[in-house]
Structure 1
Amino acid sequence: MTKHQPIASATGKTAILYRMVMPNHVCPWGLKAKHLLESEGFVVDDRHLKTHEETEAFKAKHNVKTTPQTFIDGERVGGYDDLRRFFGKRVQAKGETSYVPIIALFSLTALGALALSVANFETPFTVRAAEWFIGISMVVLAFLKLQDVESFSAMFLNYDLLSRRWVPYASLYPVLEAIAGVLMLSDRLHWLSVPIALFIGTEGAISVFKAVYVDKRELKCACVGGSSNVPLGFVSLTENLFMVGMAIWMARMWL
């Protein structure tokens, strides 16, 4: 058997996988690669790189920068992303924009609001469920921003009009969003939550509209934090308009 000759397989589909398996570290991408190969019907000759020295020697020998590395039919396929491409699966490009984070967030906050409505009113479709949806969404969005305020504020300053005039507002925004969201969920202190939501929602909507539809700029939205790859546009504008609508609705109920 040659060095890159895999173990025999009844199906004829075999592969050699080199991955790091050390006492204090098991490479997660190696596990993903092994699972992908097996899910595609391959018998995997799983070869472990058990030390840093062994790993570095392997990378130098094969002139590669990373592990895991897969060999099929004696030819190197590459790392995990290369393996996905080999099987015709999509690989997201670095920095590529995606609506997945915001879709996942709003889907879960909507389901949470519906679940609360069922628990309290025995039906998912109530006015209170809609209010809870906005409130929960605001709290979760604020949490994502507050995880790294510096990164959020840096991205927010790319398009927010008020922040460009008064920089501290970029760091204050998620705090205001959290306060308004919590108060809306509690159905208390409307005199405070309504003006906050109305102000940040209106100012945010104007900023997004100007950046995207007037200036025609292609930017990433800071709505789910500073590391977001969500494109600034319709979803961001809708988020702000929902906030404004909720504030107007609660003001009507309050007044």
Structure 2
Amino acid sequence: MCAPEFFTVGYAINPWMDPGTTVDVELAVKQWTRLRETLVDLGHTVHVMQAQPGLPDMVFAANGAFSVEGVVYGARFRHPQRSAEADHHKAFYAEQKSWRFVAPTEVNEGEGDFAYLPGRLGGLVLAGHGFRTDLRAHAEVQVVLGRAVLSLQLTDPRFYHLDVALAALDDHTITYYPGAFAEPTRQILRNAFPDAVVADEEDALAFGLNLISDGKHAVLNSEATGLAAKLRAAGYEPVPVELSELKKGGGSVRCCIAELRG
């Protein structure tokens, strides 16, 4: 994770961002801190990257890389406003000394457009494209990680990253909003995941799908009450958190967390 101490909305690179929006940085840090504390309280270890002035979106740490079993596929951002973030993420993994970092040649935005299901096909990468990550990066990540990749086409600009339209709940199961995807992708998802928890538009727009789950607890935006009820009915324990300030930048829970799969 990376604290939002320099968070602001000074440009617009997704439909949620309005450069005229006032950001309460103190509240953003308070909400982010509560998210970090929630993860620690659930038994997880959280590493914190140093925030950098001039890079307000570094708080959305998920976009900086994608790791599977100690191999890290680095990010190459679509927009120049975020491109400098990639080197800071690379440096973070280098400092850990237990990760093999692979620099990308194709445009991709890390876990923003990649999700992982270790229980499917010996490890299945769900990969989004349509707005940020180039389709060619799907082939590249397949080679780098040695895992099967299922490409999913996003067509609604409000859901510009996969992680605002779909989330892994455990090693086999996902939750997603069908309306974010092209019809052929919807059919693929229906066939491949008949047991998925299907979200409606209201909870998708509340960033409910921008969640992180450890297989038991699903930490999600507190506004997504309908999805929380569906998750509870499916056997997961919803853990709501409020991230109203960070939503102004087009992100929520999942965007703030880069999962380290050792």
TM-score w.r.t. the length of structure 1 is 0.22
Higher helix share: 1
Q: With CA pairs under 8 Å and 6+ residues apart, which has the higher RCO, 1 or 2?
A: 2
